[in-house]
Chains A and B, each alone.
Chain A
């Protein structure tokens, strides 16, 4: 199907959360900063050659099959940086307008957990690969919403942990926990924003925009159910009462992996923090961040950890890795890979190509379709006509076949030819649709639409001699006497009824314009 990437559909609140803007004589303002984890779709893991679970071939790998001694944290093995992951991160950093560090290093973040084989995670503590960026997002879902700038603090590279399971695959109950390390060591880009987001809606728009950027850059397929992107909003509320300003304590919600959960959790937390403040009056203290989790059955956030119980991660530079030095030449090699970002592309499609906003979004939502459309455009085809063909003829076929429009088989050159045939009135719209279908059939990719149209009798008949027979037959039909009178009396609309009959006789091949002219001539005699 065309876009409807289910994950990009507008989010409607799961529950009618009342947003507490004005209540009890107070004014409130939500403040949200985001931490986003993006699994990078490299072929191998962050620090070793074991296959990466975020690489499409490995999505369905059996538990603990994407492992090697480095993933398992065995004695004496050493991490080696995956250059592809670094370059993908640079690409995202550049797309987010970040500065790329000229020197960056790796640090160990220590904590004990069975899904963390070394009991430390290799991350970047004080020298992130990317820092100080910003992106513009629509401030709301309204069609003409103004853009809003979201500042990016940093984006750093680290390794993912594995998974701890409390039941065996298939939902079988067990009396102990088991570990799947397929995810352990997957390259993870952590993007951290300033607290620039104001509404739950904006939080979701930011998340979706970021996802589209990452998908466009090809660093992830962004499949949310697979955990390719995970969101951790940091939330608090500024409350004004009686001319005084109060700030509620900051709460971080861990590991949200759907836009619905993101919206629900932020909305709920907004309400909860205001209610909590009204009851207790507790305000933010320095370092007083607690952690909550989202219960997507009961649609509430639940306390996981207070700051007092926070870990001491004992960060220190990883002595197994050397600092990474990035020179201008390297950055210059990456820059050309930076494709046009979704928002820019949308603007161009609407303003320069004349597409309507909805069609433009439909094409852009799926990067592969957008890339295909760009290829179609290189043929010199009329952009609006090409877009209409893809979204009408293409979308329904893609839907039927559960594939992308770009995967139907039809080639950009064929699309250009069909557009030309239509523009030259050589085929009608239903014939064009049928011809589009023939071009998609296996083995037809090398055939020209002209030949296919001929082969399937889709070309319109404009030869007056051939058409006159059909027209005479229709005019001779007594049932049409009333219509003929109307035409004589100047009712052009009435021609349509006769035209339809001629089209039927010609099995759709008659050129409607030529037929119309001939009817007028014959009926009005001139």
Chain B
């Protein structure tokens, strides 16, 4: 078998059955990274020696577990006590963490082999992976286009088969949106399902770690490994992890799929709405009941999100001050100069924009009008979902409004960039799980270039801590379609 042209699950089983060695698998992925990463810039760095050593330990049965020998990529905002943890920021360019994120530690404890760290929008703020201090990542389907963001490196690496599975983080859609634009599965679990310890915080009440994979089953397996309580994260739920994989192939009987009119907009790319229609038909043909639901506060999601997220970010990023670690400016005149120049030199434009927005939202005199009001709307959005889930098992909607856009297309228009998250942010505000699935393709041309095939995503949202059912529903869709089997030609 070709270890890079398979699924995580198949590769895991092949290694376990010793049909292929972990070393062969890891070598094949490292070779493929060598071949394609220059073009794609999906990885910041790889840990070839460390990965090969781990693979040998797996082959010698010194390392075992449900992911033994499986080559995994991790987003570079997850701390590891090896390599650097940069968050794609100059301010952490040389930061070496003395600790490892719980999710990464769990992957390794399950036998996974960490190949390297993937590119992201700086501190996970962005929807295109263009806001990286280390250059943009390119979409494997069309290298003139963005992979989405902020987990663009993870999605591109997954789509290009530069890893067998990867993990990213999702604050307002940062797993699901790039998964949709790259044609892979991206799963944001319930807030609190996966420990945030070691995930460099963007917006603490919204951030959640999750897998980007080739298939739903792969995502189920990875979630089983990384989820569960952690005494180092007070916001992490006490629920014990489940074996999501064991149940994923069981279809849900009496399934009710909710469809909200607020998510089917005329301003969506027609291909997106068509993909959702096809999904509706597919579920109907499986015997599911299609329920019309109302999510009246959907339109307030983006402004609410950009207040809550920036407020928290302005505080979370205050620690990067050049005093204890990270970038410090040369020859500071005094304390204020040290602070302001270190931060001015270390942070990119989008970070500064969001820190200013968040600082403003929390300032005395504006706090009630912005932050407090945003929290109220956040509760209303959550209530919308609670009500909706009383009449359906999952909500079907697009992941994005359109397929991948071209590099630079939205760089000068932050608001248009922010609107990328319009279908994803509400899940974060409500804390509910959401999964983006390969939902078909569209063909686009630009300025007379040859027609280009681009993937589209459809999204399923479920009630809190109902990951098992959500994955089963996602798997029903996946097993009735072939979109996930199509790979970009590199």
Contacts and interface: CB of A to CB of B under 8 A. Distances in A.
Nearest to B332: A176
Contacts of B319: 73-75, 117-119
Given A69-B98, A69-B99, A76-B201, A320 B359 contact: no
Contacts of A77: 99, 197-198, 232
Interface stretch (A78-86, A140-148, A440-448, A508-516): A78-86
Interface in B229-280: 231-235
B99 to A, nearest CB: 6
A401 B94 CA distance: 55
B318 A112 contact: yes
Contacts of A81: 234
A314 B316 CA distance: 13
Interface in B59-82: 77-79
Contacts of A112: 318, 321, 339
B332 to A, nearest CB: 9
A76 B199 contact: yes
A247 B363 CA distance: 31
Nearest to A72: B324
Nearest to A176: B332
Interface string B76-101: 01110000010100001001011101
Interface residues of B, number: 43
Interface string A65-105: 00001001111111111000000000000000000000000
Given A76-B198, A179-B323, A320 B234 contact: yes
Contact of B95 (A73, A75, A80, A314): A75
A319 interface: yes
A151 interface: no
A326 to B, nearest CB: 16
A469 B304 CA distance: 105
B203 interface: yes
A78 B77 CA distance: 15
Contact of B235 (A72, A312, A319): A319
Interface of B is mostly: loop
Nearest to A179: B323
A108 interface: yes
B362 interface: yes
Given A78-B233, A319-B203, A314 B321 contact: no
B200 interface: yes
Contacts of A331: none
Contact of A120 (B97, B231, B315, B325): B315
B204 interface: yes
B198 A316 contact: no
A76 B234 contact: no
Contacts of A119: 318-319, 321
A167 B111 CA distance: 50
Interface in B98-132: 98-99, 101
Interface string A176-214: 010100000000000000000000000000000000000
A486 B199 CA distance: 99
Contacts of B390: none
A163 to B, nearest CB: 14
B371 interface: yes
A322 interface: yes
A120 B204 CA distance: 15
A177 B235 CA distance: 37
A316 B335 CA distance: 26
A138 interface: no
B325 A74 contact: yes
Given A80-B232, A119-B318, A75 B97 contact: yes
A292 B87 CA distance: 42
27 contacts: A69-B97, A69-B99, A73-B319, A74-B97, A74-B99, A75-B97, A75-B200, A75-B319, A76-B78, A76-B196, A76-B197, A80-B233, A80-B234, A108-B315, A110-B362, A112-B318, A112-B321, A112-B339, A114-B335, A117-B319, A119-B321, A120-B318, A179-B324, A316-B311, A319-B204, A320-B201, A320-B234
Given A75-B95, A112-B318, A179-B324, 4 more contacts: A75-B97, A80-B232, A80-B233, A316-B311
Interface of A: 69, 72-81, 108, 110, 112, 114, 117-120, 177, 179, 312, 314, 316, 319-322
Interface of B: 77-79, 85, 87, 92, 95, 97-99, 101, 196-201, 203-205, 231-235, 311-312, 315, 318-321, 323-325, 335, 339, 359, 362-364, 367, 371
